[in-house]
Amino acid sequence: MENRNARYAGGKKTGTKNTGRKPAKEVKASVRQRGEKSITSEKTAKPAKVAKPSATSACRIDKKCGGCVYLRHTYEEQLAIKEKQVRCLMEGIAKVRPVTGMENPYHYRNKVNAAFQRKRDGKIVSGIYEEGTHNVIPVSSCLIEDQKADEIIGTIRRLALSFKVRIYDEDHGSGLLRHVMIRRGHVSGQILVILVVASPVFPSKNNFVKALRAAHPEITSVVLNVNDKQTSMVLGSRNITLYGKGYIEDILCGCRFRISPSSFYQINSVQTEKLYGKAIELAELTGEETVFDAYCGIGTIGITASAGAGRVIGVELNKDAVRDAAINAKLNDIPNIRFYADDAGRFLTEMAARGEKADVLFMDPPRSGSTEVFMKAAFEMEPSRIVYVSCDPETMARDLRYLRKNYNVGEIWPFDMFPWTRSIECVTVLKRKNLRK
pLDDT digits (tens, 9 = 90+) for 202-231: 999 999 999 999 999 999 999 999 999 988
Closest CA to 276 of 295, 298, 299, 304: 304
Binding residues for S-adenosyl-L-methionine, as ranges, are: 266, 295, 316, 364
Query: Which DSSP category does 308 fall into?
Result: G
| pLDDT band for position 8 (cuts 50, 70, 90) | very low
Is 206 within a domain? yes
User: Is 4 a domain residue?
Assistant: no
For residue 423, which amino acid is it? S
**CATH number of the domain that residue 154 is part of:** 2.40.50.1070
CA 234, chain centre distance (Å): 15
Among 227, 252, 277, give the residue marking a domain's end.
252
Q: State the average pLDDT for the chain.
A: 87
- The verdict on 177 and 60 lying in the same domain is no
Q: Is pLDDT of 368 > 90?
A: yes
Q: Is residue 297 part of a domain?
A: yes
pLDDT attached to residue 296: 95
Is-contact 198 234, C-beta < 8 A?
A: no
Residue finishing a domain among 194, 228, 252: 252
Model confidence at 54: pLDDT above 50: no
Q: Report, as an integer, the average pLDDT of 177-196.
A: 98
For position 338, what pLDDT does the model report?
97
Same domain, 218 and 295: no
Average confidence (pLDDT) over 281-300: 96
Residues 111, 142: contact at Cβ < 8 Å? no
- Give the per-residue pLDDT at 56: 39
Q: Are 180 and 160 in contact (CB under 8 A)?
A: no
Asked whether the beta carbons of 294 and 388 are under 8 A apart, the reply is no
pLDDT value for 361? 98
219 close to 209: Cβ distance less than 8 angstroms: no
In a domain, 19, yes or no: no
Is residue 41 located within the same domain as residue 148?
A: no
261 found inside a domain: no
d(CA 228, CA 142) in angstroms, rounded, equals 29
Q: What is the pLDDT of residue 435?
A: 62
Query: How much is the pLDDT for 59?
Result: 84
Please give the residue that has the higher pLDDT: either 191 or 32.
191
Q: Do residues 296 and 220 both lie within one domain? A: no
Average confidence (pLDDT) over 144-166: 97
What whole-number distance in Å separates Cα of residue 420 and Cα of residue 437? Answer: 50
3 assigned to some structural domain: no
pLDDT of residue 134: 85
Q: Which residues are CB-contacts of 17 (< 8 A; sequence separation ≥ 6)?
A: none
Q: Tell me the per-residue pLDDT of 303-354, one tens digit each, with 9 for 90 and over.
A: 999 999 999 999 999 998 999 999 999 999 999 999 999 999 999 999 999 9
Region 147-151: mean pLDDT is: 97
192 shares a domain with 90: no
pLDDT score for 121: 87
User: Quick one: what percent of the chain has pLDDT higher than 70?
Assistant: 86
The answer as to whether 13 is a domain residue is no
Percent of the chain with pLDDT over 90: 78
Q: Which of 197, 222, 252 is the last residue of a domain?
A: 252
Tell me the CB-side half-sphere exposure of residue 188, using CA atoms within 13 A.
22
CA 6, CA 12: separation in Å to the nearest integer?
A: 8
How would residue 63 be classed by pLDDT, with cut points 50, 70 and 90?
A: confident
What three-state secondary structure class fits 53?
coil
Total Cβ atoms within 10 A of residue 183 = 27
What's the pLDDT band for 130 if we cut at 50, 70, 90?
Answer: confident
* 270: nearest Cα among 185, 360, 195, 361: 185
Residue 301 identity = I
CA distance 26 to 7: 32
Tell me how many domains the chain contains.
2
- Kindly give the residue spans of alpha helices, DSSP state H, lying in 90-233: 147-162, 205-215
pTM of the predicted model, to two decimals?
Answer: 0.85
**Are 230 and 310 in a shared domain?**
no
Q: Helices 147-162 and 205-215 sit at what angle, rounded to 10 degrees?
A: 140
293 and 248 both lie in a single domain: no
Which spans in 236-287 are helix H? 269-283
Catalytic residues: 391
Distance CA 172, CA 165 (A): 17
CA 270 to chain CA mean position, Å: 13
Element (H, E) at 427: strand 425-432
Q: Do residue 277 and residue 301 come from a single domain?
A: yes
Considering the domain architecture, whether residues 91 and 115 belong to the same structural domain is answered as no
- Residue 129 predicted with pLDDT over 50: yes
Q: Do residue 237 and residue 289 come from a single domain?
A: no
With a cut of 70, say whether residue 36 has pLDDT above it: no
Supply the range of the domain harboring residue 36. 24-45+51-104+268-432
What are the CB-based long-range contacts (under 8 Å, 24+) for 158-161? 159/208, 159/211, 159/212, 159/215, 160/116, 160/124, 161/124
Q: Are residues 81 and 143 in the same domain?
A: no
Domain membership flag for residue 7: no
CATH number at residue 64: 3.40.50.150
> Does residue 335 sit in the same domain as residue 291?
yes
Q: Kind and range of the H or E element at 56?
A: helix 55-58
Rounded-to-integer distance, Cα 395 and Cα 384, Å: 22
- What's the average model confidence in pLDDT over 230-255? 95
What 52-58 contacts at long range (C-beta under 8 Å, 24+ apart), as own/partner pairs, is: 58/143
> Which amino acid is residue 316, in one-letter code?
E
